[in-house]
Copies of this chain bind each other. A is one copy, B any other.
């Protein structure tokens, strides 16, 4: 039955979610992202629930199993990373500076936390994921293309090369073994970016990779 909300929008079968439920959901996702980064994707869900300040069953109500939760975190991180790419594109005059800014920003968004989530049973074909990945790929591709057009980015690299190296270099160590690890990470990223700059200083083996190439059957 259609109802009319205060804003005048007609809705079907989607009653406004309760405020506390929305708050819980957000708290769970936030806690999950933090703990995936800190302890890896095997972290006990009960601990995530505890950090989120909810009962374990509440977590399961929102995310029926671990994969569901992981997927939501992945998509959320991807989305925020894409936003950073767009911001860098919009706000930086120099195209290679834009790329640099994006790379460091992605590290701050904990994009490295995505790596362990690409594991085994994870459904890489989920529509929601595919959509978000396309959006991310498009944004980063734009950044790279502009830098390439300006003659600042070497020709033999593609978006997959950047994103995978970026994820790996920022990937968290299990148990946050090293306190000031973040400091190092930004050094590594800077070095990698220097390697990306044109003119190329060496010949790369293999061929440029898109995100598509990262699927198992590639």
Contacts and interface: CB of A to CB of B under 8 A. Distances in A.
Interface of A: 41-42, 115-116, 118-122, 157, 160-161, 164-165, 168-169, 171, 173-175, 177-180, 183-184, 186-188, 190-197, 200-202, 204-206, 209, 214-218
A120 B217 CA distance: 34
A169 B173 contact: no
Rank and list the top 7 A-B pairs by shortest CB-CB distance, nearest first. A195-B195, A120-B175, A119-B174, A194-B195, A191-B195, A194-B201, A165-B188
B190 A120 contact: no
Contacts of A196: 191, 195
30 contacts: A42-B42, A115-B173, A116-B173, A118-B173, A119-B174, A119-B175, A120-B174, A120-B175, A120-B177, A161-B184, A161-B188, A165-B169, A168-B169, A168-B188, A178-B214, A178-B216, A179-B216, A180-B218, A183-B206, A186-B205, A186-B206, A190-B205, A192-B192, A192-B195, A193-B202, A194-B195, A194-B200, A194-B201, A194-B202, A195-B195
B120 A161 contact: no
A154 to B, nearest CB: 9
Contact of A184 (B164, B191, B217): B164
Q: How many copies are assembled?
A: 4
Contacts of A160: 184
A160 to B, nearest CB: 8
B177 A216 contact: yes
Given A169-B169, A178-B214, A193-B195, 6 more contacts: A118-B177, A168-B169, A168-B188, A184-B209, A191-B196, A194-B195
B171 A171 contact: yes
A186 B207 CA distance: 11
Contacts of A161: 184, 187-188, 191
A2 to B, nearest CB: 18
